[in-house]
Amino acid sequence: MNGFYNINKPTGLTSSDVVGRIRRITGVKRVGHLGTLDPGAAGVLPIAVSKCARLFDFLTEKQKSYRAEFVFGVETDTLDAYGKITAIKPFSGDENEVKACLRQFIGKIKQLPPAYSALSVNGVRAYDLARKGEAVELQPRQVEVFDFSLVQKTENGFIFDISCGRGTYIRSLARDLAYSLDTIGYMSMLIRTSSGMFKLCDSYTLEEIEKDPTGTLLPADYPLMALEKAEFNARDGFKLLNGIAISGMRMDNRPRRVYIENEFVGLGEATADGFKLTVFLKED
């Protein structure tokens, strides 16, 4: 079994919980998620099965999209609805005022991660230090936000659609947007609507996967369709599979999907010696 599951993660489960469920369903030990979702968040959680886990570094760089609700005028220690309220500051701003502040958060920005995060501080998870009441010293990091749009005002807050790159904390966006509005705030709801090629509209629940683990498994090349294709006959394919570069091919050094006799075997790219297979995914 080699491929991906596009899972619609429910709230209440950690990403590791989902990985454990997939291991039990499939009987495959090598299973990993491509980008953590907090227990309180729902939506797209791509899961790599067997050799597809080798694509972790490549696929986690992809663009992600979210729908989130922010509540202004209240702040929690975790910056989400699961934390303790630490401050209250009345907010009476309207939709136009909120929209006007969104522009400053689009593009490459510096962002301070939440104290309650999985980032490591001297070998210890930041959330473990925060739970003990210890000071958490994290440094601002550069992240990229491609789109930040107000969808509607709700009874308790505002709903936004956000598209961003790897490492962006939506909870930090809630905090920082609130500060720009001269108030405080937290993220009350989060749904990941896409992660690269994985879309919420095409996702499956864990219950659906348990009923049909084979039929819901996506092929190994599913999330790679944006890459160009490189096709080889059996003779050249034998060379590639044995670590021999194919010379005389004119192409840049961007990764390509590699097929041998129409069978997807992994990723390859041009090197100084020629075209080589760099990530091997073919099942034994």
In this structure, the answer to whether residues 118 and 79 fall within a common structural domain is yes
The total number of structural domains in the chain stands at: 3
Range with the lowest mean pLDDT among 85-99, 126-140, 232-246, 263-277? 126-140
CATH number at residue 258: 2.30.130.10
Statement: residue 1 has pLDDT above 70: yes
**pLDDT tens-digit profile of 200-249?**
999 999 999 999 999 999 999 999 998 999 999 999 999 999 999 998 77
Q: At what angle do helices 95-102 and 170-180 cross, to 10 degrees?
A: 110
Question: CB–CB of 63/21 below 8 Å?
Answer: no
- The active-site residue out of 17, 38, 212, 284 is 38
Inside any domain, residue 252? yes
Q: Look up 38 and say whether it is catalytic.
A: yes
Report the alpha-carbon distance of residue 279 to residue 230 in Å, rounded. Answer: 14
- The answer on 100 and 180 residing in a single domain is yes
Residue 133 clears pLDDT 70, i.e. is over it:
no
What's the number of CA atoms in the CB half-sphere (13 Å) around residue 282? 18
Across the chain, mean pLDDT equals: 90
Give the confidence band of 171 by pLDDT, cuts at 50, 70, 90. very high
Residue 141 CB: number of other CB atoms within 10 A?
Answer: 15
In this structure, is residue 160 part of a structural domain?
A: no
d(CA 31, CA 206): 15
Verify that 136 and 233 share a domain, yes or no. no
Residues 260, 202 share a domain:
no
Q: Please check whether residue 249 lies inside any domain of the structure.
A: yes
Q: Is residue 157 part of a domain?
A: no
In a domain, 158, yes or no: no
Tell me: do 11 and 30 sit in the same domain: yes
Question: Is 37 in the same domain as 136?
Answer: no
Same domain, 250 and 218: no
Q: Are residues 173 and 105 in the same domain?
A: yes
- Containing structural domain, residue 242: 227-280
Query: For strand 274-280 and strand 42-49, is the pairing parallel, antiparallel, or unpaired?
Result: unpaired
Same domain assignment for residues 217 and 174:
no
Does some domain include residue 124? yes
Residue 163 lies in a domain: no
- DSSP state string for the chain: --EEEEEEEPTT--HHHHHHHHHHHH--S-EEESS---TT-EEEEEEEEGGGGGGHHHHTTS-EEEEEEEEESEEETTSBTTS-EEEE------HHHHHHHHGGGSEEEEEPPPSSSS-EETTEEHHHHHHTT-------EEEEEEEEEEEEE-SSSEEEEEEE-TT--HHHHHHHHHHHTTS-EEEEEEEEEEETTEEGGG-B-HHHHHH-TTTTPBPTTGGGTTSPEEEE-HHHHHHHHTT--B-S----SS-EEEEETTEEEEEEEEETTEEEEEEE----
Is 48 a domain residue? yes
- Asked whether residue 58 falls in the same domain as residue 86, the answer is no
Q: What is the pTM of this model?
A: 0.89
Same domain? For 179 and 95 the reply is yes
174 neighbors 159 (Cβ within 8 angstroms):
no
Please tell me the predicted confidence (pLDDT) of residue 102.
97
Q: What's the pLDDT tens digit per position in 24-70?
A: 999 999 999 988 898 999 999 999 999 998 888 778 778 999 999 99
Q: Domain boundary at 128, 158, 186, which?
A: 186
83 and 116 both lie in a single domain: yes
What's the CATH code of the domain at 77? 3.30.2350.10
